[in-house]
Chain A
Amino acid sequence: MRLEPVKLVFFKEFVEAVRDYRTVIPMVFMSLALGPLLVLILPKIALIQGKAIIMDTYRVAQVGDSQLVAAEVKNAPDFKFVDIGSMSPQLAVDKGLVDAAIVIPSNFDQSLESNFKKVDKVDIVYNGTRSKSGMARLRLSMWWDGLNQRFLQRRIKHAGINIEQPPNVAMKEISPESPFGVTTPFMQLMLAAILMMMALMGVVYPALDAITGERERQTLEPLLMTHAERSELFAGKLLTVASTSYISVLLTLLSFFVCQFLQPWIYGQHTFLQDSFPFKAVFPWPCFLFTGLAMLPLCVTLAASALMFSSYAKTIQQGQGYFLPLMLLGLVPLLVVLLGNVHLNASVCAVPFLNCIVAFNDVLSGYIDFFWLIVSTLISVAFCFLAILLVSPQLAREDLLFGVTDSPARRFAANDYRRELLFLCALIFLLMFYGSQVLVLNYHLWGVALTQILIVLMPALIFVRYWLRLPLTTVIKVSAPRGGLATFFSMILMVPLTITTASACVYLQSQLLPGTDALNEVMAKTLGIGSEPLMLLIFVVGILPGICEEILFRGVVLSFLPSKYSQTRLVIIVGTLFGAFHMSILRFLPTAAMGALLTFVRLRCGSIWPAMILHCLHNSFSVVLTRYMSSDFSSGGAVYFFAGGLAIGLLGLCLFIRATR
């Protein structure tokens, strides 16, 4: 990839974008307007509202004679007590004569003064359709709480007990010190929400325009005829889109930076200087500059992803549809900030988007670790290069440029059913998500059985038989496997391998991620692993999934992937789909690995039976082990168990490979 064409494309597209005044103006306007809006105007409104809430008086009625309460009532400045005479409190509240009413039982004074008798409960009546009434209810119950504390303290003192009530602990949030200075929590929140949004908006439409727009305007064709390589064109466009996004971000940062100086004017020096002023905006200039720097990898990554989507879209309308998920990503930084304890470390750095988002959050909140910042930047750059290499061939796709497609008959002849498979996968995903969860949560073990039959097996069979109209037995490959009996025997030997690997995964996860035990317990309880009869469990959890899932994945899905794919590619794809199918982040890795192994088995021996047997045996033995053996992995026996299992399993694997040569 040469630098010269990339520079050329970048400059030309940039000049073209800047000359489009009508597009540039709203972008600039928004970037500059958000700062004042969020830092100056909205908090002012909130403060005014807040003051109004404090100063508000609520009309309240007291029902039931109680001298004690009546005495306290005079000291409640935010309530105005109204006498409703003999009207019922419900009617008074409903009609709006009062906002809320407190109904005190008739024996309240007596039981209280006796000091040790139980006191009947008090009712607070309110009207849920009116917000003021709801607020009155809250205020009233808070006031009543306070009253009760006093009454309680009196009783306790009377009983001669000298235990002091613990003070209520208030919360004080702080941020770490940083050489660049730190922003206040309010600024962090605002910036986290807005910066990502501005970066996204600066990326989405320019990216759509850069590729899909050019396709629609038919200016992409001549570009493809030049000597510039596809990757160079793509890289140039990436730089342009990243720049528009970055400029938008910088302008936003600038407007926030400037607004912090205007705050004392708007709120008054006194309010602003108070420690407890919740909307304080402090943005030290080193932090401002460094945040600007930290946003660059994010803009570039966003640009790469947006261009990826844009390359696959034939029309702008289609592209907009693909961009919807990307837009929702704009919510992620807000979540990260709210969660708070997500910082840059090895696992976070490895994920392309997440690392940039966490990086700029860390910079804003003061958790600066230069090493991880640099690693994260490098990974983002690597991601962009990868995107360029993988996606630039899409620029020249005939079907997107001119609508040139192959007839379905030809696609099927080449065993290319990817479109249909995509539909099947989406359908099964939806069924699993909605149907399976409902079934399992409500019918437990029977729900699992129903899931397997209705959601896994039936769609697969219907798909093959009635939609594609192909013979089932050929597609699912029920012929005898290569290697005959030896293959079957090797499957039995391989079971210890799969079980030890799965157990090792579980063990490692429980060490690294706290709370996995809780999750496993919940799952075990839902399925009734401890309680249901063993034979039933083995059938429903062991054998049925073994059959149905194999038919779906190794039978249908595998058979309909293009035959030109290499074996490795097929193994990875089917394995990943199998892992994703189980809809659990925790179990993804072990199930994906298992899926890959099963795919390998099926490809190697050309029949579905060995894979089915391995799957059934694995599941069944797992059930038995969960039931009867404790998960105490620290004992010495466990190590021998592992070693033995591994050894036998590897033996089985070797036998299998030899038998299916």
Chain B
Amino acid sequence: MALVVEALSKRFYEKSRGEFMASDNVSFDVRDGEIFGLLGPNGAGKTTTLRVIATILLPTSGKAILDGIDVFAQPDKARIMMGFLSSTTGLYERLTPREILQYFGRLCGMGSADLEQRIKILAATLDFEKYLNARCAGLSQGTKQKVSIARAIVHNPKLMILDEPSTGLDVLATQSMHDFIKDARKEGKAILLSTHSMDEAEKLCDRIGIINDGKILAIGSLEELRQKTGKTKLEEIFVSLVRA
């Protein structure tokens, strides 16, 4: 079991809304060699949950164990094993993708030879080789997203946390992204991603956690969810769970 999340909660406060639970008692697990998808509409709490697990936000309560390590108690150790792709690309406009990857790779403690190799592989797999030495300011949204993903996993982490990885990608790019994620699964990585696209969830995820208003409504593979709700299409499954 790679990642186990137990009763994770995060409370926010906004003047207009008052207090509310962005993540409310969320529990799920992600196994090695599995793609787990958090599926829900915008504002459901997916990004918050992922950020908490990635140690960027502090949880209000709950636990997360990654390969036996308590993520919140030992964040430094946990970060070595995680890679997080945030929902915003956040690239440095005046640097090239190669420089960005080298920077983050070395900050994560990789040696130069390994790093060069890894950059080559990532660029080839994600198909941005010809942009490796162009400044990020001029890249298209899709290429930026690919570079972002590469940056998130340049240090080859065990657990990949991807927040809406297909944002801004066209059909072809999305396809190659999906292939990339599936290859990672073959290598035995645990992949936790979030999405609001039913299509993507159906095609990509081994197990799906349906989340709405901060709460997990159901967890299971597509088959299990079909059995639970009696519906076939994921949209119908989702709607019936929310309305219940």
- Chain A interfacial positions (CB closer than 8 Å to B): 4-5, 8-9, 12, 15-16, 19-20, 217-219, 221-229, 396, 398, 401-402, 404-407, 409-410
Contact = CB atoms under 8 A, between A and B. Distances in A.
24 contacts: A4-B106, A8-B107, A12-B103, A15-B95, A15-B99, A16-B94, A19-B94, A19-B135, A217-B90, A219-B91, A221-B56, A221-B88, A221-B90, A222-B151, A224-B56, A225-B79, A225-B82, A226-B79, A227-B76, A229-B76, A398-B57, A402-B57, A405-B13, A409-B19
A171 B85 CA distance: 71
Given A5-B107, A226-B104, 9 more contacts: A12-B92, A12-B99, A16-B94, A19-B95, A222-B152, A225-B55, A396-B56, A404-B57, A409-B19
B19 A407 contact: yes
Interface in B51-91: 51, 54-58, 76, 79-80, 82-84, 86, 88, 90-91
A12 B96 CA distance: 11
B11 to A, nearest CB: 8
A405 to B, nearest CB: 5
B26 to A, nearest CB: 17
B121 interface: no
A443 to B, nearest CB: 44
Contacts of A219: 90-92
Contacts of B104: 222, 226
Contacts of B84: 222, 225
B108 interface: yes
> Which among B58, B82, B92, B99 has the highest number of chain A CB atoms within 10 Å?
B92
A218 B82 CA distance: 19
Contacts of B12: 404
Tell me whether chain A's interface is mostly helix, strand or loop, or mixed. helix
B198 to A, nearest CB: 27
B66 to A, nearest CB: 14
A404 B57 CA distance: 9
B108 A227 contact: yes
A227 B107 contact: yes
Contacts of B80: 227
Contacts of B108: 226-227
Contacts of A9: 107
Q: How large is the interface on B (under 10, 10 to 19, 20 to 34, 35 or more residues)?
A: 20 to 34
Contacts of A15: 95, 99
A15 B99 CA distance: 10
B50 to A, nearest CB: 11
Given A218-B86, A404-B12, A407-B18, A225 B92 contact: no
Contacts of A396: 56
Given A225-B82, A227-B108, A407-B19, A20 B58 contact: no
A414 to B, nearest CB: 13
Contacts of B58: 398
A227 B19 contact: no
B88 A218 contact: yes
Given A398-B58, A402-B57, A227 B103 contact: no
A227 B13 contact: no
Interface of B: 12-13, 18-19, 51, 54-58, 76, 79-80, 82-84, 86, 88, 90-92, 94-95, 99, 103-104, 106-109, 135, 151-152
A222 B152 CA distance: 8
Contacts of A224: 56
Given A12-B99, A16-B95, A225 B56 contact: yes
A16 B103 CA distance: 12
B94 A20 contact: yes
Contacts of B86: 218, 221-222
A227 B109 contact: yes
B56 A16 contact: no
B90 A222 contact: yes
A175 to B, nearest CB: 46
A227 B82 CA distance: 11
Contact of B103 (A8, A404, A405, A409): A8
A571 B103 CA distance: 45
B192 to A, nearest CB: 14
Contacts of B82: 225
Contacts of A12: 92, 95, 99, 103
Contacts of A4: 106
Nearest to A219: B90
A187 to B, nearest CB: 38
Nearest to B109: A227
Contacts of B135: 19
A15 B91 CA distance: 15
Nearest to B135: A19
Contacts of B92: 12, 16, 219
B161 to A, nearest CB: 9
Contact of A218 (B55, B90, B95, B151): B90
Nearest to A12: B103
B153 to A, nearest CB: 11
A218 B92 CA distance: 10
Contacts of B94: 16, 19-20
A84 B86 CA distance: 87
Closest 4 CB pairs of A and B: A407-B13, A226-B107, A219-B90, A19-B94
A12 B13 CA distance: 36
A223 to B, nearest CB: 8
A19 B96 CA distance: 11
A565 B135 CA distance: 48
Nearest to A404: B12
A222 to B, nearest CB: 6
A409 B15 CA distance: 12
A437 B161 CA distance: 61
Contacts of A20: 94
A228 B95 contact: no
Contact of B54 (A225, A227, A406): A225
Contacts of A402: 51, 57
A174 B90 CA distance: 57
A293 B109 CA distance: 34
Contacts of A5: 107
Nearest to B148: A222
Contacts of B57: 398, 402, 404
Contacts of A16: 92, 94-95
A20 B94 CA distance: 7
Nearest to B89: A218
A401 B54 CA distance: 15
Nearest to B18: A407
Nearest to B47: A402
B125 to A, nearest CB: 20
Contacts of B103: 8, 12
Nearest to A224: B56
Contacts of B56: 221, 224-225, 396, 401
B115 to A, nearest CB: 12
A12 B91 CA distance: 13
Nearest to A2: B109
A239 to B, nearest CB: 15
B72 to A, nearest CB: 14
B101 to A, nearest CB: 12
B137 to A, nearest CB: 10
Contacts of A406: 13
